Structure 1
Amino acid sequence: MRLKYGSVRTYSTLCQREFASKKEAIRAEELTLLEKDGQIIDLEFQILFGLCEKPKITITIDFSYWQDGKVTYEDSKGVLTRDTRTKLAWLHEKYGTEVILS
């Protein structure tokens, strides 16, 4: 099934889960292999951050992991919308969190 902006949900047998796009699934598999190799630790998927209580506004970041003693957040984006840019700026302002876009 095609989603917004033409992405196709993709199942990863390595990660044993479905992802919103092929690009996200490929990156998840890369990170999973890095974790198995010991280059990163504590890989997590779909991290939810609250940005505002009323109205309830959230942003979900695709991946987080620890590397070189610090946490890294990554999000797979095919199309960077104005809404996403705004939420990422808000996330940085509220939590000081930088997100790598891949």
Structure 2
Amino acid sequence: MKRKYGNRKVTLDGHTFDSKREACRYGELKFLERAGQITDLELQPRFELIPKQRRDDGKPERACEYVADFRYTDVRTGQQVIEDTKGMRTRDYIVKRKLMLQVHGISVREV
């Protein structure tokens, strides 16, 4: 099946990634984790950007979430890193990246 942005799903270590680029980055991060340069590698961490709400007519509005590709701790700096592997920066992604900074004070690292 042809995907919208030309990427193909890839499975590595039992995890399915949205693109070859994301799977490669996972391999790099696993190497850095084994080398002791990063710790606590997590895939697909979720962040709530806007909580669920009720409209005036009583109908619910779902929460708005951002799902990053990776979260880990850089051992050298002690900082938590939220990372996204991007080939195409969609409007939705750009808005969510800005909301991450506004709501959570987190700058998303793009690779």
User: TM-score, normalization: structure 1?
Assistant: 0.91
Is contact 1:2-1:9 (8 Å) kept?
Answer: no
CA separation in 2, counterparts of 1:70 and 1:4?
A: 34
1:37-69 per-position Cα deviation (integer Å, ceiling 9, x unaligned): 111000000011111123321110000110121
Q: How does 1:1-102 map to 2 (within 5 A)?
A: 1-12=1-12, 15-53=13-51, 54=53, 55=61, 56-67=63-74, 68-102=77-111
Identity %: 37
RMSD: 1.1
The alpha-carbon deviation at position 3 of structure 1 amounts to 3.0
Contact 2:100 2:108 (C-alpha < 8 Å) held by counterparts: no
What amino acid is the match of 2:69? D
Q: For residues 2 and 77 of structure 1, what CA distance do their matches in structure 2 show?
A: 18
Distance 2:2 2:35 in 1: 33
Q: Looking at CA atoms only, which structure, 1 or 2, has the larger radius of gyration?
A: 2
Give 1:31 shift: 0.1
In 2, Cα distance between equivalents of 1:73 and 1:36: 19
Measured after TM superposition, the shift of residue 72 of structure 1 is 0.6
Task: Kindly indicate whether the alpha-carbon contact (under 8 Å) linking 1:19 and 1:25 is maintained by their aligned counterparts in 2.
Answer: yes
* TM-score (norm: length of structure 2): 0.84
Structure 1 position 17, deviation (Å): 1.1
Q: Which structure carries more helix by proportion?
A: 1
Query: How far does residue 4 in structure 1 lie from its aligned partner after superposition?
Result: 2.7
